[in-house]
Amino acid sequence: MNVTVENLAPCRKLVRVEVEAQKVDETFESVTKEFQKQTALPGFRPGKAPREMIVRKYEKDIEEEVKRKLISDSYRKAVAEQKLDVLGHPDIEEIQFNRGQPLQFAATIETAPEFVLPEYKNLPAKREARTVTDEDIERALNVLREQQTQFNKVERAVQTGDIAVINYTGTCEGKPITDIAPAARGLTEQKGFWVEVGSNSFIPGFGDQLLGAKAGDKRTVTVDFPADFVTPQLAGKKGDYEVEVVEVKEKALPALDETLAKSYGAADLAALRQGVRRDLENELTFKHSKDIRGQLVRALLDRVNFELPETAVSQETRNVVYDIVQENQKRGVKREVIEKQKEQIFSAATHSAKERLKVAFLMQKIAEKENIKVSQEEIAHRINHLAALYQIPEEKFAKDLQKRNGLIQIYDQLMNEKVIDFLQQQAKIEEVPPAPLSQPEVPTPNPG
């Protein structure tokens, strides 16, 4: 068998294969015997029909099977002989095939990129020297209190921090807001709407203009929609609202006491504080680890540059576009809005797809060099975990994975996690002072 390889483009090759005539004839003979053995013709016992009759009746089928077998076997041998890391399926063409003659064909293939693995040990990363403070615990406890806030109706004027229950209608440039932004029905008219006065939780400046109002009062509220307003048609414009105050509610937070602690499953207030501290420390550890791992991946990407296979980029771009569209639809973004932004979405998706693929190829190469492997037990454990998470019977979940080739995804996820764990263990991590927090993000702890 003769094999030649021609580079068509980065990660794209043309493999030409020639199989000698003797091998072609031998394969014709073996395939014909197999047909003879398995075929039954009228008047003959299975396997006893004369060879000439079998050849005459099944000539085309025999030729197709010989061609399929020769191309399949010789292609696999050629790939192994040339040590090609093939992605996807080959495009077979230029087939020349006849009895008594050499078989010739060409296979266009995409291969994994070839690159020199950069230095991946001692990658730099920075970790903020942040710890959980007593102030963090107090903020988290206040979050727990706020989750059990009572809203009590009061017969007085609206004060800062109150909830004003209102009916309103809005206009912009003298027209109903829906004339300018058809999808913004909620900004045009609402009844029984709750506004927290002093929080800017609705439209900036709206709630402050209700200070001093009582139930039954009517007011005209004028607002300036911010330049980055969520409804772009209104950004930078003025709005006018006719508002009727229906009710005033005062917020009443529960006391920080044993009753509150028990409502969250803690034995007492001390146990609640301990649970909050533990959860905040776990959250901080997770945040540190996630941040460091992101820095390590970025440092690795910055150290190498290589071409990617076009088909893989196209497929991954489609996956990213699908994810972006799904996420926007979940957030309530209309299809027509998404359609208008399709060029920006495609550009962002292409960039993200290329980075994902580069990371995948880097992880694979590091795993090979460091002999990092994933065991069947680890795959089974991950499947068990996911099945429990999605509340699907384990056997059904595993079968569904097999049908859509999901086991490869599970393997790749575990492999990437192991490689990044390895990189983190080998990294050169520098402790740096924490950046000031303008609005600390306090997770909702589970003190149980």
Q: What is the pLDDT of residues 191-213, one digit of tens each?
A: 999 999 988 889 999 999 999 99
Mean pLDDT of 157-184: 94
Q: Where in the chain is the domain with CATH 1.10.3120.10?
A: 260-432
Inter-residue contact 108 to 91 (CB < 8 Å) = yes
pLDDT for 276 equals 96
Q: Where in the chain is the domain with CATH 3.30.70.1050?
A: 2-111
Determine the average pLDDT of the residues in 268-283: 96
DSSP 397-446: HHHHHHHTTHHHHHHHHHHHHHHHHHHHHH-EEEEEPPPP-SS-------
User: CA–CA distance from 252 to each of 197, 242, 245, 290 (Å)?
Assistant: 15, 29, 20, 37
Mean predicted confidence (pLDDT) in 13-42: 91
Q: Is the pLDDT of residue 440 over 50?
A: no
Do 123 and 425 meet the contact criterion of CB atoms below 8 Å apart? no
Both tokens assigned to 180: 């300018």
**Structure-block tokens of residue 364:** 């694979």
pLDDT for 42: 79
pLDDT given at position 441 = 44
CATH class of 260-432: mainly alpha
Name the pLDDT band for 444 (thresholds 50, 70, 90).
Answer: very low
Q: Which residue has the higher pLDDT, 383 or 436?
A: 383
pLDDT reading at 443 higher than 70: no
The contacts of residue 17 (CB under 8 Å, 6+ apart) are: 1, 2, 3, 74, 75, 78, 103, 104, 105, 106, 107
Q: Is the model's pLDDT at 45 over the cut of 90?
A: no
Comparing CA positions, the residue from 134, 154, 254 lying closest to residue 197 is 154
Q: What is the pLDDT of residue 149?
A: 94
Q: What is the pLDDT of residue 437?
A: 56
- Assigned fold of 2-111: Alpha-Beta Plaits (3.30.70)
From the number of C-beta atoms within 10 Å of its C-beta (0-12, 13-18, 19+), residue 189 rates as middle
> What pLDDT was estimated at residue 341?
87
CATH 3.10.50.40 residue spans of the chain: 150-252
Per-residue pLDDT of 74-124, as tens digits, reads 999 999 999 999 998 999 998 999 999 999 999 999 999 999 999 999 999
Asked whether the predicted pLDDT for residue 189 surpasses 80, the reply is yes
Domain range 150-252, CATH class: alpha beta
Mean pLDDT of 318-329: 89
Least trusted range by pLDDT, from 31-40, 270-279, 381-390: 31-40
Confidence of residue 439 (pLDDT cuts 50, 70, 90): very low
